[in-house]
């Protein structure tokens, strides 16, 4: 991962076993959060790939995308060609055919429309069609190529995350926050929502129940209807975890979940993370609290200056001289 000339994370490869708890540690500025951002699509990695269960979650160049580009090109072309001569077309198809209070000759009007539409010569018809097709097709193509690996694509593939500096939806209630996280499992469409169809209402009720269950799981059920912004800091972190869990992810990435928590809360958090693993979700976390990291991790990866310096079980890391040096500094001799 490079930003301009600055290499923030270099050649870091982290393999996470399904159903394990993996920690990424390292001093400040080592590139841990950048690694998470590159994984979840907040940044586009300059090199390297992310595989989830062996597959690269990207929007592929499918026939559907191809059809979309073609359809956009065609409709933009027609739109532009109509737009540049809209008055002439209107005149020939509508005004010239309409006699007040006489039946309107629809077929003739349509025929006139097409004959005028294609009778504009190079500058009236074909140039606008060509420019429109190029504009529309290219625009749609660029949008596709730029949104191949956006966070929503990664999240849809089953990778959920929390943020180091909490990013909740502050004015929504706790339940609503969690239900937003559930979004990828819901199916209500526009019409269902507009007419409040029974299926939509049922889905809404079910989503709320599930959300309340998740809030209970993280221990916030009693405040379900307050606004998220009114929660104390430690609870906000737990709410963020509940929201991330709501999408039933395969992997959950926790960015410093214990930051700002007191010792009791930290112990609760460790219990919570273990419970998440028991429920079948793979956990990857960034953390500075060594008690948390050493207490729950199956494997630990250590980063420094954007490079991986060590990897192993908590026991190995604890005795690795390079890690001790990275964290505590070298003993000055003499």
Partner 1 sequence: MAERRFSFFTRGQCIVLALLAATPLLDLAFPSIQLSGPMRTVVVYAILALGLNVVVGWTGLLNLGIAAFMAIGAYAFGILTAEVYPFQVGFWWALLLSGAIGAFAGWLLGAPTLRLRGDYLAIVTLGFGEIVQDGLKNLQAITKGTEGINPLPKPTVPFGAAIQSGLEIVGIASAPAATKAAEGVVAASSNWFEISSATPARWFYLYLILLAVVIFFCRNLEFSRLGRQWFAVREDELAARCMAIEPDKAKLKAFAAGAALAAIAGALFASHLASTGEPANYDFQVSILALCIVIVGGIGSITGVVLGAIVMVGLSNVVLPALTQAMQRAGIGSTENVLSSPDNYKYLIFGLALVLMMRFRPDGIVHTRKAVKK
Query: Which residues neighbour 327 within 8 Å (Cβ) at sequence distance 6 or greater?
Result: 27
Rule CB under 8 A: say whether 172 interacts with partner 1: yes
Contacts with partner 1, 257-286, as mask; x by CB under 8 A: ------------------------------
Rule CB under 8 A: say whether 155 interacts with partner 1: yes
Cα 132 from Cα 139, distance rounded (Å) = 10
- Name the strand (E) or helix (H) holding 279: none
Rule CB under 8 A: say whether 237 interacts with partner 1: no
Query: Which residues neighbour 29 within 8 Å (Cβ) at sequence distance 6 or greater?
Result: 305
Q: Which stretch binds partner 1 (CB under 8 A): 21-29, 122-130, 220-228, 265-273?
A: 220-228
Rule CB under 8 A: say whether 256 interacts with partner 1: no
Judged by CB under 8 A, how many residues of this single chain contact partner 1?
60
Contacts with partner 1, 82-101, as mask; x by CB under 8 A: ----xx--xx--xx-xx-xx
Cα 257 from Cα 244, distance rounded (Å) = 12
DSSP H helices, the chain, are: 32-40, 63-84, 86-90, 106-118, 121, 127-146, 151-156, 174-181, 190-195, 198-218, 233-245, 263-278, 290-296, 314-318, 321-328
First to last CA, the chain: 39
Contacts with partner 1, 33-52, as mask; x by CB under 8 A: -------x-x----------
Rule CB under 8 A: say whether 328 interacts with partner 1: no
Identified binder of partner 1 from the candidate list 19, 48, 119, 205, rule CB under 8 A? 205
DSSP H helices, 251-289, are: 263-278
Contacting residues toward partner 1, per CB under 8 A? 40, 42, 79, 86-87, 90-91, 94-95, 97-98, 100-101, 104, 109, 139, 143, 147, 150-152, 155-156, 160-161, 163, 167-173, 176, 179-181, 183-184, 186, 188, 190, 192-196, 200-201, 203-205, 208, 225-227, 229-230, 243, 247
């Amino acid at each position: 991962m490079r930003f301009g000339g600055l290499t923030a994370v270099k050649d870091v490869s982290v393999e996470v076993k399904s159903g394990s708890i993996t920690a990424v540690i390292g001093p400040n500025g080592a590139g841990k959060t950048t690694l998470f951002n590159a994984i979840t699509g907040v940044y586009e990695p300059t090199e390297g790939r992310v595989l989830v269960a062996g597959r690269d979650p990207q929007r592929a160049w499918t026939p559907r995308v191809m059809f979309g580009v073609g359809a956009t090109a065609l409709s933009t072309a027609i739109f532009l060609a109509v737009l540049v001569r809209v008055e002439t077309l209107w005149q020939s198809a509508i005004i010239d055919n309409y006699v007040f209070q006489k039946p309107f000759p629809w077929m003739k009007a349509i025929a006139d429309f097409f004959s005028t539409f294609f009778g504009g010569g190079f500058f009236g018809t074909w140039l606008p069609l060509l420019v429109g097709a190029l504009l529309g097709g290219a625009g749609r193509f660029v949008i596709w190529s730029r949104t191949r690996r956006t966070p929503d694509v990664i999240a849809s593939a089953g990778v959920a995350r929390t943020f180091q500096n909490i990013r909740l939806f502050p004015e929504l209630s706790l339940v609503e926050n969690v239900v937003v996280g559930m979004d990828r499992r819901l199916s209500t469409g526009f019409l269902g929502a507009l007419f409040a169809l029974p299926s939509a209402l049922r889905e809404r009720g079910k989503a709320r129940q599930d959300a309340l269950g998740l809030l209970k799981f993280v221990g916030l059920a009693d405040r379900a209807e307050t606004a998220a912004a009114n929660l104390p800091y430690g609870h906000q972190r737990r709410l963020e975890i509940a929201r991330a869990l709501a999408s039933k992810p395969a992997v959950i990435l926790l960015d410093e979940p214990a930051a700002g928590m007191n010792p009791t809360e930290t112990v609760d958090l460790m219990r919570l993370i273990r419970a998440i693993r028991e429920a079948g979700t793979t956990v990857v976390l960034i953390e500075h609290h060594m008690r948390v990291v050493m207490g729950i991790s199956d494997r630990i990866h250590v980063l420094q200056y954007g490079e991986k310096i060590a990897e192993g079980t908590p026991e190995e890391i604890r005795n690795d001289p390079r890690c001790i040096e990275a964290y505590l500094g070298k003993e000055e001799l003499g």
